[in-house]
Amino acid sequence: MTQPIAISLMLSGLILATLVVPRLSQRHTLVLALFASAVLSLGSATLLGYALDLNSVYLWGFDTATSPFAATAISLVGIAILARAWREHTLAEVGAPSWLPLPVVVGSATLTVIFYLGLQEQEIVRLHEATRRSAYNLSRSLETVMRTQSEELYRFGREWSDPDKTAVVRGVEAESFLKENPGGQVIALVSPDAKHVSLETYPFLGNEHLTGLVHSNEPARVAAIVRALAPPRGPSISSTIDVHAYGSGYAIYVPLEQNNRLWGFLATDFAYSRVIERLIERDATLRTDYLTRVSITGTPIFDNSGFLGSMDDVLDQRGGVDVVETIFDRRMRFTMVSTDEAFVRDRRNVPERSPSPPASSSPCCSA
């Protein structure tokens, strides 16, 4: 038995126990009408909640829903008590009782509050679903971009392996590749030996500290190189690494061959924050309507929300989401919520009916 039903039955039982008195006073009749109105409102509101699919109405803030059968029973109890109050009045007086408007007032007030809360929750649910779709789309876009980056770097690496190309030509082509792939910070030519040292870095200006970087010192980079060498040799995306001076990111490694022999590796480091920022900039909805935080193992890799701590409170208020998606073997948490402006603009306080199709005009009147 759910809590609302238990409370209604308890109150109804107390009221019914007072009916042992042979004749009820006018005040007693008024109390009967008041409680009957409240019980009837509870039952009828629950039934309407089912009819209108407002789960907050038939859940009443609890985990267990009040069944339609129980709601019907409570409504009948309310009607029975109200009928007894009417009968007691007709035995003592002539005409309509003075408390006649009471059931209407109590019922209207109760239903107004209940349906306001129900519609409010339904609106939050609607916003929640819209935000979930946006978070999912962002995660899939990030996955697609990472896959495209690896494929383009693989094609770029095959051209880069031309022995006739000088370091100057490789530098020009590397800068062109980075411009076409926002988020890429540096391209390095890595030695094929066990240390995997960066022999050349492009662009060199601003990345001087990366020349001579020993890739074998970082397990995530080593694992990506091993996967790149596994038959058939191809591009490999590392797990999360520290992109020097740019924060968290990932590296893509492509083995380079000359005359069917391993010549080295083409490595490109991408910063998560810049890749995600570019994706959001290209999507008008994500850019203007949502605050976004993306994290891995609790560490934010992108955050334009402006919140210093947890976003849980605002998520509940605005229908935000906190979902985890797996992208290239890394579990990424996407936390998104509507901006203040989007929440005010998109929120509907009452349900909207689908507009009726316009009536087709007759040929004689269309001229």
The pLDDT assigned to 90 comes to: 76
Contact (Cβ atoms closer than 8 angstroms) between residue 186 and residue 203 = yes
Q: Once rounded to an integer, what is the mean pLDDT over residues 300-311?
A: 88
The answer to whether residue 118 is domain-embedded is no
Q: Does residue 244 share a domain with residue 289?
A: no
Q: Does residue 212 share a domain with residue 305?
A: no
Least confident of 23-27, 50-54, 280-284, 341-345: 23-27
The answer to whether residue 57 is domain-embedded is yes
Cβ-based burial of 136 (10 A; exposed 0-12, middle 13-18, buried ≥19): middle
Average per-residue pLDDT in the chain?
83
Q: Does residue 332 share a domain with residue 298?
A: yes
Q: Does residue 246 share a domain with residue 151?
A: yes
Which residue type does 47 have? Answer: L
The pLDDT assigned to 335 comes to: 95
Q: Provide the CA 92 distance to its chain's centre, in angstroms.
A: 62
Q: Does residue 314 share a domain with residue 263?
A: no
What is the pLDDT confidence band of residue 227, given thresholds at 50, 70 and 90? very high
What domain range is 338 assigned to?
Answer: 131-137+285-346
The pair of structure tokens assigned to 340 is 């203040």
Domain count along the chain: 3
Q: What is the signed CA dihedral for 134, 137, 142, 148, rounded to 10 degrees? A: -150
The answer to whether residue 362 is domain-embedded is no
Q: What is the CATH number of the domain that holds 187?
A: 3.30.450.20
Q: Does residue 155 share a domain with residue 242?
A: yes
Q: Does residue 34 share a domain with residue 75?
A: yes
Q: 205 or 96: whose pLDDT is higher?
A: 205
The answer to whether residue 120 is domain-embedded is no
pLDDT higher than 60, residue 365: no
The pLDDT assigned to 56 comes to: 67
pTM, full prediction: 0.71
What is the pLDDT confidence band of residue 249, given thresholds at 50, 70 and 90? very high
The pLDDT assigned to 209 comes to: 76
Q: What is the signed CA dihedral for 336, 341, 346, 350, rounded to 10 degrees? A: 120
pLDDT higher than 50, residue 358: no
The pLDDT assigned to 301 comes to: 94
Q: What is the CB-side half-sphere exposure of residue 283 using CA atoms within 13 A?
A: 17
What is the pLDDT confidence band of residue 226, given thresholds at 50, 70 and 90? very high
Residue indicated by tokens 């339609």: 68
The pLDDT assigned to 23 comes to: 56
Residue that finishes a domain, picked among 251, 274, 297: 274
Q: Does residue 240 share a domain with residue 171?
A: yes
pLDDT higher than 70, residue 141: yes
The answer to whether residue 142 is domain-embedded is no
Q: Does residue 260 share a domain with residue 168?
A: yes
Query: Residue 255 pairs with which residues in a beta bridge?
Result: 265
Can you give the C-alpha Rg of the chain in angstroms? 34
Q: Does residue 152 share a domain with residue 184?
A: yes
Contact (Cβ atoms closer than 8 angstroms) between residue 300 and residue 273 = no
Q: Once rounded to an integer, what is the mean pLDDT over residues 252-271?
A: 92
The answer to whether residue 116 is domain-embedded is no
Q: Does residue 161 share a domain with residue 256?
A: yes
Residue 207 phi, psi dihedral angles, 5° rounding: -120, 25
Q: Once rounded to an integer, what is the mean pLDDT over residues 255-270?
A: 91
Least confident of 53-62, 215-224, 257-266: 53-62
The pLDDT assigned to 315 comes to: 87
Q: Once rounded to an integer, what is the mean pLDDT over residues 101-110?
A: 78
- 258 phi-psi bin (left φ>0, alpha ψ -120 to 50, beta other): beta
What is the pLDDT confidence band of residue 359, given thresholds at 50, 70 and 90? very low
**Cα–Cα dist 295/336, whole Å:** 11
